[in-house]
Amino acid sequence: MNKWTRRTFIGAGTVAGGGFLLGVAGFTFAPGRHSLVAADAAAKGQLTTWITITPNNQITILIPHCEMGQGTPTALAMMAAEELEADWALVHVEEAPALDAYANGYIIRAMGGGYVPAVLGRGVDYGAYKMAEWFGLMVTGGSTAVRGTGEFGMRVAGAAAREMLLAAAARQWDVRAAECVAKGSRVTHAASGRSRSFGELAAVAATQSVPTSPALKDPASFTIRRTSLPRRDLPSKVDGTAKYAIDFTTAGMLYAAVEIAPVQGGKLVAVDIAPAESMPGVKKVVKLDEAVAVVADSFWRARRALAALKPEFSDAGHGAVSTASIFAAFETALGAPPGVPTGAAKVVTADYRAPFLAHATMEPMVCTAKVDGDRAEVWTGVQDPLNARSVAAKALGIDVENVRLTNFLLGGGFGRRLPFTFDYVDLAVRVAKAMSPVPVKTIWTRENDIQHDYYRPAAMSRHAGALDADGVPLAAHSNYTGGGNREAVFMPYAIAEMAAAEKKADHPIRPGQWRSVLNSQHGFFKESFIDEMAIAAGKDPFEFRRGLLAGQPRFKAALEKAAAMSGWGTPLPPGEGRGIAVCESFGSIVAEVVHVAVFPTGRLKVLHVYAAVDCGDVVNIDSATAQVEGGIIYALSAALLSEITIAQGRIVETNFRDYPMIHIADAPQVSTAFIRSDAPLGGLGEPPVPPLAPALANAIHAATGIRIRELPIRKTPLTRA
């Protein structure tokens, strides 16, 4: 009860206020989220909200989350199939449609709901679902899917369906359900030798009430989870049949290219449309408040005609904003270094800077829309199809029920396709409305995509630490600007005085949720500074950290595992170094060691990254490993190369030539180890990112003596004097 948070209280209170939660003598009366089924559930063989079994013994599991390369739908289906005791070969996985019934109901659970008292759990889940339904949230992000929907939704749904099938068999055979066993998509009564498939029992099973609190399997008996089953999305991606929003076509479709006001908040002032309208294939030039679009019979023709226009945009009063002005404001806001105890033997101070970053998904933003009167169809790829549907309806001024949205596979998300970033959907439906009833596909170029993102915030942090005569840390304080929260600034070390304070400095660059959110900046800040304190204390950075983690066994175990994997402490050739860092985010602890070589010319080669991950437990080992590897590579590009800069209020970078990513030849070897603990399930899509930049910077210092305090690293010369 001591961790009953304000967030979970709000969830339960909202349910109670709406009449869905009635607590009497310790009981909670609320529908199980997994028990909400269609009126014709029996006819369809729908046993629980997400699980349907047809007479031919095929199992369909609907997943209320998108696939954007992370393997979540497969993992969630594995969690349901495990409890169901299904034959995995008979399981079909589909993304749930963008309908209110599939709104996510486990966000509270994933964001601290492991602390919800059991008696209130169902009420909180149902309340969160009703809130998600009300706000139109079907979100995939924040590493919440497996630890929320999976643990509290899919597992329970699978277990409930299993109990329903056992009860159906017992009723048909006139035996006790406890005498029957489900295994491999069949129910067997050993005493009589009778056996029936799930498909043969499903229709009868679906007529029963869905159990509210089914018994879950003992993890020791898992046969599907903790394995490396092939992901269901991979074959189509390999053979090219996978469909992304950019692949979608429909009869009579036209194409639109857009130019958007280059300064955020700017408006279209004037444009001469004649040069474009006279060009081959052009159907119309559409003027919008903040953009101009050319609609043509091919995207190439639309782009070519758009290039012939010379639109004039206002700058919303932000024309003087630059990277330099923003960081100057950060400097002013931070003020003097934070104070430390007087009488310390040594005081350590340092400033760190992290730039704005774009998401730079491999598939740029794209949306096709068809508007016909007060109805619309939308085809896109988003991390929240329900919210995108609402955005389309609002932009068109029609009822949300009159918008049908089809969500495709995502060519990357990383937060760019989260709710409240659907400007590309808003813009596309307005263009399509101008061409009604003809469908129009609006494609953003890479230039559109990079210059009109919702950016990871630039940030700056000013640190001061104190050490006694024996090198024992007495204090570690910081002031920071650019955003932060309790999770991001948390340090697990046993230091007597620790504090972090935010200093505000406003700017007009619109922020977004970038992979690992604020942890990516603060991971670099705090784990670089603790390394600097270790060096100032004259101690090995690994041993220094370990000595401060006696009260944090999960952090200590991850740190020790990563060090052991890397051979920490063994001699390295001149010019090579290892760096270490450990961070917690989204319920998971990740320690990483980076091994680098820095050549006399200053050329840097990242040789190997070792990651030790405590995410509680792992559902699909191969998929989990891929997520760690993907997070490390994504973070490596950002740490080494990527930076968004501003001049005259607008984004300078335009494409991968000036916003580069690392290439395959530059990718290090990555070794991953998972530590199974008693902790609740943690996330995996985001936690590998925060430790990478500081571990890399610390490795460079070990190799060269050069301390990196500003990202990207390419801005700091690595040639040794």
Instruction: Specify the 3-state DSSP secondary structure of 305.
Output: helix
Say yes or no to pLDDT of 580 above 70: yes
* Residue 136 pLDDT: 84
- How crowded is the C-beta side of 329, counted as CA atoms within 13 Å? 14
Closest CA to 224 of 95, 96, 91, 33: 91
Contact 112, 144 (CB under 8 A): no
pLDDT value at residue 543:
98
Contact in structure between 642 and 661 (CB atoms under 8 Å): yes
Q: What pLDDT was estimated at residue 29?
A: 52
Euclidean distance between CA atoms 329 and 605, whole angstroms: 35
For residues 338 and 86, give the distance between their C-alpha atoms in angstroms, rounded to a whole number.
58
Looking at the predicted structure, is the pLDDT value of residue 30 above 70?
no
Which value, in Å, is the radius of gyration of the alpha carbons in the chain?
27
pLDDT band at 713 (very low <50, low <70, confident <90, very high): very high
CB proximity list for 41: less than 8 A, separation 6 or greater: 47, 206
What's the pLDDT score for residue 6? 28
SS3 394: helix
Cβ atoms of residues 647 and 322 within 8 Å: yes
305-311 average pLDDT score: 98
Residues 6 or more apart whose CB falls under 8 angstroms from that of 164 comprise: 47, 205, 206, 208, 210, 211
CB distance 390 to 480 below 8 Å: no
User: Would you place residue 133 in the very low, low, confident or very high pLDDT band (cuts 50, 70, 90)?
Assistant: confident
Categorize the per-residue pLDDT at 134 as very low, low, confident or very high, splitting at 50, 70 and 90: confident
Looking at the chain, the whole-number percentage of residues with pLDDT higher than 70 is: 94
Residue 433 and residue 580: Cα distance in Å, rounded? Answer: 54
Alpha carbon of residue 332 to chain centroid: 33
Closest CA to 285 of 266, 271, 299: 271
**Average pLDDT over every residue of 368-392:** 97
DSSP calls for 523-542: HHHHHHHHHHHHHHTT--HH
Domains of the chain: 31-103+138-238 (3.30.365.10), 248-315+365-443 (3.30.365.10), 459-715 (3.30.365.10)
Give me the half-sphere count of Cα atoms (radius 13 Å) on the Cβ side of residue 44: 14
HSE (CB half, 13 Å, CA atoms) of 483?
Answer: 19
* DSSP calls for 34-93: GG---TTHHHHTEEETTEEE-TTS-EEEEESS--SSS-HHHHHHHHHHHHHT--GGGEEE
Statement: residue 613 has pLDDT above 80: yes
Average pLDDT over residues 55-77: 96
Q: Of 3, 15, 5, which Cα lies nearest the Cα of 122?
A: 15
More confident residue, 121 or 144: 144
88-106 confidence digits (pLDDT tens): 999 999 999 999 889 987 8
pLDDT at 115: 59
Q: What is the pLDDT of residues 1-17, one digit of tens each?
A: 233 232 332 233 333 33
**CA 582, CA 531: separation in Å to the nearest integer?**
11
Q: Of the candidates 638, 635, 610, which has an alpha carbon nearest to the alpha carbon of residue 685?
A: 635
pLDDT of residue 74: 97
What pLDDT score was predicted for residue 652? 98
Percent of the chain with pLDDT over 90: 88
pLDDT score for 121: 73
Average pLDDT over every residue of 163-181: 97
* Nearest by Cα to 18 from 102, 128, 116: 128
Average pLDDT, the chain: 93
- Mean per-residue pLDDT, 611-630: 97
Q: Is 623 helix (H, G, I), strand (E, B) or coil?
A: helix
Cα(580)–Cα(20) distance, integer angstroms: 49
Pick the more confident residue, 21 or 445.
Answer: 445
Model confidence at 112, pLDDT cuts 50, 70, 90, reads: low
Neighbours of 721 (CB within 10 A): 5
Query: What's the CA gap between 653 and 358, in Å, rounded?
Result: 10
Tokens of 56: 């031919």
Handedness of CA 520, 526, 527, 531 (dihedral sign): positive
